[in-house]
Amino acid sequence: MAVSKKGEAGAKTRKAKKPDKKILVIVESPAKAKTIEKYLGDSYMVKASMGHLIDLPKSRMAIDVEHEFEPEYITVRGRAKLLKELQKDAKKSGEVLLASDNDREGEAIAWHLRNAIGAKSKDVPIKRISFNEITPQAIKEAVVNPAGIDEAKVNAQTARRVLDRLVGYNLSPLLWKKVKNGLSAGRVQSVALRLICEREKEVELFIPDEYWTLDADFKAAKSKHFVSRAQLVLWRGKKPELKSEAEVTEIIEKLKNAECRVGDIRETEKTVKPRPPFTTSQMQQTAANRLGFTSKKTMQIAQQLYEGINIGESRIGLITYMRTDSVRISRLALEEVRAWIAKNYPGDLPAAACEYAVGKKAQDAHETIRPTYVEYTPDSIKESLTRDQHRLYSIIWERFVACQMENAKTKTISIDINAGEGIFRIAGTKILRKGFMQVLKLLASKDEKGVSVPSVKAGDILTAERFYSEQHFTQGPPRYTDASIIKTLEEKGIGRPSTYAPTISVLLDRYYVTRSNKQLVPTLLGKMISDMLSEYFPHVIDAAFTATMETKLDEVEENRTSWPEMIREFYDPFKEQVDEVGKTLESYKGSLDEMTDLVCEKCGKPMIKKLGRFGFFLACSGFPDCKNTRSIPLAKCPKCGGDVVARKTRGRGKEFYGCANYPDCDFISHFKPLPDQNCPKCGWFMVEKYDKKNGSHKGCINPGCDYLHSNEDGEGS
């Protein structure tokens, strides 16, 4: 492949003779500039705009609602110096190539730069270049094929910006006036908050029911073959519904001396197809489920991989553009991956390339997320990447290569064991043909690794060696996680690939939502805001309406809709409703404040529980004369009797719960104490725990206590 040679050689210019003036290339980030600089020769100068240099001001709405919603753009505060430097560089250049990202935001950045630079350097040609990956070949092709600004794409970005500004700058002041300063509401974030709050109501209403399962180990009478952990699936011809330990014990007693014999053995072969390559949402969901990454972390690492990593002496963008809703693969990429598979797994190369259908809602502006060079396997560049970069790159590489390999074939073997009046069942999977599974490591599922089955045949006599009875509780609807809320937003057509991670971040930053065991839990404030918006602005934060607006924005980009008309249709009735609510809605200010029995240790006045930017805290009622504040006690320390309060680790700021008497007392808990709930068995405080076996459940923090919450007060096991 000789990537480094391409980089060292530099891109060919469009002139045989070296120009007297350099060509200025403007990208968005310094990292991207650094990478591209290595591919272009001395005839080019690469600079970074650091994102938007010109945008709407933050201090006011800046939309002329009377005249076609004309936005009032200004130079972003603190960016004037950088803009002047770029204008100065452009004056000295023979040509300017605007190379911001190939999406709506990137097009808007290029549009503003063209206008700002053109105003100062009218004789300098300004052109637009775009690329889907940062590789020597892609950059060279972009440079020799410049184009103009896509005005329709700029209009779509303007429409979204204006729409979001109109919603935010009308609803947010209403929240400041009626609830609390510093709050915000947004077109997409408020819909996401509503979904999370509605799910939380379902979680709170759910009452878990106790049930039991029964497994058993069997041994073949005339051999050493062992059947481990077969599950009781039928009792007296029906599916067992075991509600108590007593019922399970009764069955075990009846089975102890029962005749056991291997019954039906069923074999089912199945063809397993590889999954399509990643879109943005699929990458975020998989990274959350497999790697435990938040959506924000996934996009930050993907940005690093896209913009360029030093691999030996070369610097290369390792993946294609990471904001896409398409699974389309370029012809050159297909040729490269098929050549790699032919070399490394020749028996698993399909006769023709595998094609995947692009979703109806996909914009298809970019191809799928894939490695730029398949030869850079995860193992071959592991030393050049951080651990997180390597893990994310691995799943991108595995998913892409696997999608162009042959199907796998598996055989599932299900064995029934007749034991008295019951039937136990055990199943396992054998892989008959690995196919695409050969390249899966981080993405390999349990089935893809194979599960062994015992070597027994129908009619074999067995003896029951051991029984395993286990208590469970039915699980209610799961709270949303980063992965599941992104999946829901995508399915409902809300937002776009670039908006998923920022939407979740805003909800967390505003303290509308917190993370607990990777689940998104609405706060009291979040519930209040969601309820208020749902009651007075149901149309605005309706999922179907928001999805319709996304479709209309797509129509603007396709030149099928005039964006001022689209905005006018929405804005007039919306503004009328805002004004009406502003007059009639009662104030909720101070409604979240709560007087406590706690006393200020500085002045002796009562402490008030107040809501701040990062959650609830205690403040002296003597403010402003006394400005004492402290954390809210959540429980009593089981070691010293002090207060357990929320604390955060240094660096990452991860929350945990520790004794306020630290360092004299070193008690800590990684589970949040439940207010005023102590264990009925040992007296320690209760917490909400989460595990795959029991889901979300209440349990005792005492490691020596096995109490689990059930739907009947005072019960546990």
Burial of 2 (0-12, 13-18, 19+ CB in 10 A): exposed
pLDDT tens digits for range 598-634: 899 899 899 998 877 667 788 999 888 898 988 888 8
Q: Taking the alpha carbons of 156, 60, 63, 27 in that order, is the dihedral positive or negative?
A: negative
Task: Supply the pLDDT for residue 278.
Answer: 97
pLDDT tens digits for range 547-590: 999 899 999 999 999 999 999 999 999 999 999 998 888 877 77
Q: How many CA atoms lie within 13 A of 487 on its CB side?
A: 12
Cα–Cα nearest to 671, from 524, 518, 517, 521: 517
Cα–Cα nearest to 554, from 359, 368, 369: 359
Active site residue 321: yes
The angle at the Cα of 400, spanning 396 to 406, to the nearest 5 degrees, equals 140
Task: Supply the pLDDT for residue 656.
Answer: 83
Rg (CA), the chain: 31
- Distance CA(619)–CA(631), nearest Å, equals 9
Q: Which amino acid is at 469?
A: S
8 Å CB contact between 716 and 702: no
For the chain, which domains are there? Answer: 3-149 (3.40.50.140), 160-206+478-584 (1.10.460.10), 210-271+413-432+455-473 (2.70.20.10), 280-402 (1.10.290.10), 594-700 (no CATH)
Burial of 63 (0-12, 13-18, 19+ CB in 10 A): buried
- Distance CA(591)–CA(179), nearest Å, equals 8
- Distance CA(575)–CA(138), nearest Å, equals 47
**Could you tell me the pTM of the whole model?**
0.81
> What is the helix (H) or strand (E) element at residue 334, kind and residue range?
helix 331-344
Q: How many CA atoms lie within 13 A of 319 on its CB side?
A: 31
- Distance CA(629)–CA(621), nearest Å, equals 10
Active-site pick, 39, 73, 321, 512:
321
Q: Which residues pair with 700 in a beta bridge?
A: 686
The angle at the Cα of 468, spanning 464 to 473, to the nearest 5 degrees, equals 145
pLDDT tens digits for range 49-100: 999 999 999 989 999 999 999 999 999 999 999 999 999 999 999 999 999 9
Task: Supply the pLDDT for residue 5.
Answer: 36
Mean pLDDT by 10 residues, the chain (717 residues): 40 48 94 91 93 93 95 95 96 95 93 96 94 92 94 95 94 88 88 96 91 93 78 95 94 92 94 96 96 95 95 92 93 96 97 85 76 97 97 98 97 94 92 95 75 82 93 90 95 90 93 89 92 92 90 92 94 94 82 82 89 79 88 85 80 75 86 81 80 69 70 33
Max Cα separation, the chain? 97
Alpha-carbon dihedral 252, 256, 260, 264, rounded to 10 degrees: 10
Task: Supply the pLDDT for residue 510.
Answer: 87
- Distance CA(607)–CA(594), nearest Å, equals 9
